[in-house]
Structures are given as structure tokens and as C-alpha cells.
Amino acid sequence: MPSFKVLVVDDEFDFLETIVKRLQKRKIDATGVGSGLEALKLLEETSFDILILDVKMPKMDGIETLKEIKRRWPAVEVIMLTGHASVESGMQGMQLGAFDYVMKPAKLDDLIEKMVQAYERKLLREKQIR
Amino acid sequence: MKENFSGRSRFVNYLVPLCLFAASWPVGRTGGALYALGALILAGLSFFLFRHLVHQINQAEQRSCELDEQLIQSQKLAAIGELSSGIAHEINNPLAIIGQEVEWLRHLFETSTLQEEKDRGEFSDSLKQISSQVDRCRDITHKLLNFARKMDPVMQAVELNRLIDDMAALVEKEAKLNNINIIREFQKDLPLVTSDPPFLRQVILNLLNNATYAIEANGTITISTKDNKDGRVEIAVADTGRGIPKEHLKKIFDPFFTTKPPGKGTGLGLSICHGIIQRVGGTISVISQLDRGTTFTIRLPIAP
Ligand SMILES: Nc1ncnc2c1ncn2[C@@H]1O[C@H](COP(=O)(O)OP(=O)(O)OP(=O)(O)O)[C@@H](O)[C@H]1O
Ligand SMILES: [Mg+2]
């Protein structure tokens, strides 16, 4: 397993706690925060490779957070998580530069596989720029 | 798939009457019959060969036509992209200055004591209006710049069937509400393709979205994949929707071409798809029949 840092952003506390724990059990360096604003604040201090971002959050929703993150930290790869399937938000998310769109409840193995691919993309992109 | 089938059935069409004819030949004149049969088979074969050649030539011609069109389209897109990003840049600068001046005015206004109460209200409303309109313009210019931005693809291994299945799942729930069925006809042992996954997701979503819009309600979308055995894989998205009138076919990949009511569509969907497919080295084409449906076909190189 390549080593990368993941930030999970979700306002549902139970979900957040469980997923961070399960990822850590798989030896993945995972952190969780409960809102888009907290995510932005944390990104100012710490760098992450991958963000798992819930689409539906109060105040600053996932799409808005994604926009801000891609503007300020374009190197971070973002995987959007959504509870209900919506074409509109899916198209928006992909157009704003998300790596993938995953429906809840996602299987942990699937999610991890997508993270590995997202991380591979991040490395490849860094190589291209250099 | 379809081409193979029609090719085979044509061959059968020639063979069957030939065999029937041979079988009905009287037994007593076997020698003459053999010659005749030989001649017939030869004639049949050469006819078939000739048809096959003509067919191949036609196909080659069609392919080069398609290539020409793709080239023209990409040049057109590039020109429009350049133009719009040029304009967006030009407008961004004065916009920034207007925005700054508004801020300055607001500052002067807040520190002055000269204004009467009712004037103050109007003055401040007016300032708010200017800055919100500036924001709106900025939003438009950013969208244009975004459209024109040339993002280099990042090529990595893609399990195409899986990627398409994920995007279909995203569309499926909403589609079911309108009684639209999504049928997957994936080739099982499709080779891994080296391409840009998020770009491809964007394209598939756009095509699926267009297909559901064209069907409105009650219909099917068939997504299929296959290995073309020529170093390319093929993805087809076929819908049973309203179809595209002939006079529109040439325009659908143009930016801003839309038949949706004002404010409902940007008309950028297909031109973005075209740009993406071009950048990952593939082609996208369309076949449509009015009131019957539309099929978009993407061909992607397996290795870049
Ligand atoms: N599957 C389809 N069936 C029938 N017509 C289609 C189909 N796909 C595209 N079109 C036609 O092509 C036009 C352009 O499509 P495009 O995706 O570029 O923009 P749009 O769908 O109109 O707007 P947007 O993508 O911003 O919602 C459509 O308005 C429609 O007329
Ligand atoms: Mg569209």
C-alpha cells in the first residue's frame, strides 16, 4: 500500500468516526473533520494528498468546498461522496476537477482502491509538471 | 457488432440460393452440373469479393471524412477557446479596477458625515448593486477561462467497464423515476486502457445526461463496450430518444449550440466531450435517426 494522507470531510459524525477508524486500521493515515470550513482551515496548516468530501453538508456544501480547494490547492485529489445519486451534482463535481464520484454506502475496499488511483494520479501529475 | 452481423448475413444470402439451385439439379447430368456449379460458385465468390472490396473502400473514405471533420471541429474549438479566453482576460482587468473603485467609494462614504439619511440609503444600495454585478461578470469570465483552459491529461490504467458502471449508477436512480432503463452491454475481458479517468467520467456523464434529456420518459439507454482489435476500444451510448435533426448534426459539437430553453443548457456539454476525447487521442462520432434515437460512439486508443 502506497503511503498517502487522507482527509475525510463529512458532517455526519458517526459516519466520519467509523470511516476514519477503519481506514486507520488499514494503516492509512486518515484524519476527519466535520465541515468544509474546517477542512480549508486544516489545509492551510497541513498538507493532504487526498480528500474524501461529502456532497451534502450544511453551510458550505461539498461542491463549494471543492471549488475553493481546487482554486487554492489544485494538487489535492478529491473524491466526492454522495448519499443520493444526482446527475447534476455529479457533472458539477467532475467539471470542477474531482477525481471520482462515489455513492454511499461505499465498500471500504472500493474506496481504498479509488484512493490508490487518485494518489497515483497525483504522483503522475507532479512528475509531468517537473 | 452490427457490421459483423450484416456482413455475415449478406454472405449467407448468396450461399443459400446457390445451394438450393445446386441441390435441385437433375442427378443424371452430373458432369455438366459440376461444371455449371463450379462456374456458379466462382461467379458468386468473385461477386462477393467485389462487394467486399467496394465496401472496404467506402469505409475507408468514410473514415477519412470523419477524421477531416474531427480536425475541423477541433480547430474551431481551439479558435473559440482562444477568442473567449482572450476576451475574458481583457475584461477581467477593467472589472478588477471597477471592483477596487467601488471599495474605495464605500470607504469614503462610510467615513463621510455629509450625506442626509435618505441619500445614504440609496448611495449604499447603489454601491452594493455595482459590486454584485461586478461579481456576476467575474463569474462569467471565470467560466470562459475554465472552458478554454488546456488541462493536460494524466494517463493511467483504467478499467473502462467499471468506470462506466459507476457513472451509470449515478444516473440510474433519477432515470428510473422517469422509467428510463439503462442496459449495460460490456465486453467482459476488455483490456485495460491507458487514459485519463476523471476526463472520461466527465464525458460519460455528459452523454448519459444528454440521453436521459432526449428520452424525457419511457425508454432505454444502452451502454456498450468492445475491443475493436485494432488497438482501440469502443464505447457506445445509444438512446431511444427524440433523435437529432439532420441540420443540427453538424452543430451539436459546437460550443454554445443548444436546443434547450434559455437558461437551461449552456451548450458546452458536447464540445467539452469532444475536446476531452481529442486530448486523450480518441474520436467521438454520432449517428441519429429522428424520433428513433441517437448513438454516440467513442473510440479510444488502448495505449496512448
Ligand atoms: N442524445 C441526444 N439526443 C438528441 N439530441 C441530443 C443528444 N445529445 C445532444 N443533443 C443535442 O445537442 C445539443 C447540444 O448538446 P450539449 O450537451 O452540448 O449541450 P446541452 O445539453 O444543450 O446543454 P448542457 O450540456 O449545458 O446541459 C443539445 O441541445 C441537443 O439538441
Ligand atoms: Mg448536455
- Nearest residue, CB atoms, B202 vs list A87, A95, A120: A95
Flag the least confident range among A22-36, A106-120, B201-215, B260-274: B260-274
Higher confidence at residue A2 or residue B276? B276
The answer to whether B154 contacts A100, with C-beta atoms less than 8 Å apart, is: no
pLDDT at B67: 63
Q: Does the domain made of A5-129 have the CATH classification 3.90.79.10?
A: no
pLDDT at B6: 39
Q: What is the ipTM of this complex?
A: 0.94
Q: What is the pTM of this model?
A: 0.73
Strands B180-185 and A29-33: unpaired
Cα→Cα distances B1→A104, B123, B226, B228, Å: 36, 69, 9, 10
pLDDT at A76: 95
Between CA B187 and CA A9 the distance in angstroms is 37
Q: Which CATH architecture has domain B156-301?
A: 2-Layer Sandwich (3.30)
B242 lines ligand 1 (CB under 6 A): yes
pLDDT(B12) > 50: no
Between CA A64 and CA B21 the distance in angstroms is 74
Between CA B126 and CA A10 the distance in angstroms is 39
- Confidence category of residue A101, pLDDT binned at 50, 70, 90: very high
In degrees rounded to 5, what are phi and psi of residue B251?
-105, -15
Residues 67-106 of A with CB under 8 A from B: 82, 84-87, 90-91, 94-95, 97-103
pLDDT at B40: 78
The answer to whether B198 contacts A97, with C-beta atoms less than 8 Å apart, is: yes
Flag the least confident range among A37-46, A48-57, B3-12, B250-259: B3-12
Residues A77/A51, Cβ–Cβ less than 8 Å: yes
Q: Which three cell numbers stand for residue B283?
A: 474520436
Alpha-carbon Rg for chain B in angstroms: 29
B239 lines ligand 1 (CB under 6 A): yes
pLDDT digit string (tens) for B115-162? 677 778 888 888 888 988 887 787 677 666 666 655 678 999 999 999
Q: What average pLDDT does the segment B233-242 reach?
A: 98
Between CA B12 and CA A91 the distance in angstroms is 47
pLDDT digit string (tens) for B60-116? 766 666 666 666 766 766 777 777 777 877 888 888 889 889 988 888 888 887 667
Please give the torsion angle defined by the CA atoms of residues B241, B246, B250 and B255, in that order, rounded to the nearest 10 degrees.
Answer: -50
- Residues in B closer than 8 angstroms to A87, CB to CB, are 170-171, 174, 205, 208-209, 212
Domain ranges of chain B: 1-150, 156-301
pLDDT(B16) > 50: no
Q: How many Cβ atoms are within 10 Å of B20's Cβ, its own excluded?
A: 9
Quote the Cα angle for A24-A68-A118, to 5°. 40
| Distance (Å) from the alpha carbon of B280 to chain A's nearest alpha carbon | 15
| Contacts for B14 with CB less than 8 Å, ≥ 6 apart | B44, B47, B48
Average pLDDT along chain B: 82
